[in-house]
Amino acid sequence: MIELKQVTKQYGQSTVLHNIDLTIDEPGIYCLLGRNGAGKTTLLKSIAGCQNITSGQIKVAGKAVSTAALDTGVSYIENFAKHFNLPVWKLLRIASEVNGAYDDSFAAEMMEQFELDGKKKFNQLSLGMKTMVSTIVCLASSRPVILLDEPVLGFDAIMRVEFYEMLTESFRRHPRIIIVSTHIIEEIAKTIHKLIILDKGRIRFFDTLQSVEEKAFSVSGLKKDVDAATANLHVIGQDAVGGLVTSYIFDQPPKQEASLEIAPLSLQDFFVQMVGHKGGIRA
């Protein structure tokens, strides 16, 4: 279990995380979404114990997390992760030797699936292949918490599909908490169980994708009709073009009227409305 209480992180005078309360208490694949600079990497590094927070408390499996902790139970790989410039097979062997619960068979299968040359040194690999090696090392660790920061950077479309399959297979073999930070929203939707949206250092949303499918809608029509239909609903954004208005809601959809057009929001559109956009009206 991951538990954050009133977590704040400051860099000088800049506050990156603002009094975050978050509890993740069951295994699953969680997607962490946020705009550039929202604090995603800072949040993941803090949970992993790679840096200390300014105030508050973070616990993983009941143990306080900090840079002083010998083993946080967390395996964390950030984008552009660096390793010793050794042959890939030697990096995997070292990872296995320092982690008693390392899944050698999973690592070997993934190496074969992605056609990785174990004899190549790490720095000889493309960006995508470097990221894949780092991800395999992380997932094969079998630790109770896995944190992946932008793991699909440098991947082509086929590699991204294979990555999501690898993520699903890893979770099937070792159910645990896996948090994936990504910008490619729609692709990962089929893989994840819950969604976390971070906006300007604050948690804006934490729930299942099912709740988005059931409650996220756009309501379009004349302003007076839309305003009347959404008066008692949670409006997360609004666009206006001429006399027509579209309100974006996270609530039960209003009753269908001939004057209204009601449509479900895609995950990407829901995210855009939750974090705001130019021309939008924040509720």
What are the tens digits of pLDDT across the range 4-35?
Answer: 999 999 999 999 999 999 999 999 999 999 98
pLDDT of residue 282: 41
pLDDT of residue 279: 41
Tokens of 42: 């800072």
Q: How confident is the model at residue 183 (pLDDT cuts 50, 70, 90)?
A: confident
Rounded-to-integer distance, Cα 262 and Cα 256, Å: 7
Segment (H or E) for 160: helix 157-173
Residue 55 CB neighbours (<10 A): 12
Most confident of 19-23, 36-40, 98-102: 19-23
Beta strands in 173-255 (DSSP E): 177-181, 194-199, 202-208, 216-222, 235-241, 244-250
Q: Across residues 152-172, what is the average pLDDT?
A: 88
Largest CA distance in the chain: 67
Q: Across residues 153-163, what is the average pLDDT?
A: 85
Segment (H or E) for 168: helix 157-173
pLDDT of residue 190: 86
pTM, rounded to two decimals: 0.89
Segment (H or E) for 147: strand 145-149
The alpha-carbon radius of gyration of the chain (Å, integer) is 21
Residue 73 CB neighbours (<10 A): 18
Length, in residues, of the chain = 283
pLDDT of residue 195: 95
Rounded-to-integer distance, Cα 12 and Cα 271, Å: 29
CB 16 within 8 A of CB 39: yes
Q: Which of 204, 209, 141 is nearest to 176 (CA)?
A: 141
Q: What is the dihedral of CA 196, 209, 176, 88, to 10 degrees?
A: -80
pLDDT of residue 255: 86
Rounded-to-integer distance, Cα 174 and Cα 234, Å: 38
**Residues pairing with 148 in the sheet:** 77, 180
Q: Across residues 235-253, what is the average pLDDT?
A: 91
Percent of the chain with pLDDT over 70: 95
Q: Which of 239, 198, 203, 199 is nearest to 221 (CA)?
A: 239
Q: Residue type for 267, please?
A: L
